[in-house]
Amino acid sequence: MRCLTVTVSAVLMGSLAIFVRNIDVNPLIVTFLRMAFGLIYLLPAIKLVRFSLFKNLKVLSLSFVSLLTITFYISSIQLVEMAISALLLYMAPVYVIIFMILRGEDIGRVSIFSLITALFGLYLLLSPYYSLNFGIIFGIFAGLCYAGYFLLAKEVREFASSIEITFITLLISSLALAPIALSFDILSVLEAKLLWLLGLGLIPTAIPFVLLNYGIKFCKKENAPIIALIEPVSAGIFGFLFFNEVLTLKQLIGAVLILSSVLVALKSGVEG
């Protein structure tokens, strides 16, 4: 089931905060380092990349949206709990469904049921938090951008491979943030956090990006984000294991609902 790669990608991305918090520098710098180190791991595949794609407007737009998503998400991770940041990121399905409705596209009943179940689970997970802060605001913006990423990636995946999309996205994002990074003491970060940076570029970046961009092609537009909702659950587990961030009973029930919706989406979300 090729749509399963989206789920594996989500689990790996759920570990992002472990690396971000241990590196602990400006969000833009962390984003640059994440993209740059992820790009290093993909350099052996450079021969598979058609550089003519750099002129494609959709590819450039996808890279820009990806950069915004990651920057907002990392900013949120540094201010609120891992699970909360991930949950706000994965409000993306709401925006995807709304966008599809506005475009008059058909949405399957199973997808709607999965979405409702997942959103109710999100509500339970977020219920203990009532105040609005910058961490939550950044998380909301990350979710909006992530919705745009799914929509664009689905179209770009029709003419570009997952390796090409990932490589070009990482390269463009790295180049865009390079001027800011050069004004920062990058060498001191490299010396102090090299092992964490190597892990950052591989585990929550290079591997899941390739898996995500591969799986998106085979999932329905409204189902890929729902399947990827497993990331908030994995982020919550990582938060508990590494930072003693404990979920309440209500939040655990929400996590179960999200997992249930993921299983339903996996069974109905493959095209072809």
Compute CA distances 173 → 6, 68, 119, 201, whole Å. Answer: 22, 9, 31, 13
d(CA 90, CA 113): 17
Rounded CA-CA distance 228/231 in Å is 6
Per residue in 103-157, pLDDT tens? Answer: 787 877 877 887 788 888 878 877 777 667 898 899 989 988 988 888 898 899 8
> Based on the number of CB atoms within 10 Å of its own CB, is 113 exposed (0-12), middle (13-18) or buried (19 or more)?
middle
Q: Distance between CA atoms of 178 and 36, rounded to whole angstroms?
A: 9
Domain ranges of the chain: 4-268
pLDDT reported for residue 7: 82
On the question of pLDDT at 271 being above 60, the answer is no
Q: Chain-wide mean pLDDT for the chain?
A: 85
pLDDT tens-digit series, residues 153-176 = 889 988 998 889 999 999 999 999
The 10s digit of each residue's pLDDT in 41-84 is 999 989 989 989 998 999 999 999 999 999 999 999 999 888 88
User: In 3D, which of 82, 79, 199, 212 has the Cα closest to residue 146?
Assistant: 212
Residues paired with residue 219 on neighbouring β-strands, in sequence order: 270
**3-class state of residue 25 by DSSP:** coil
pTM for this entry:
0.82
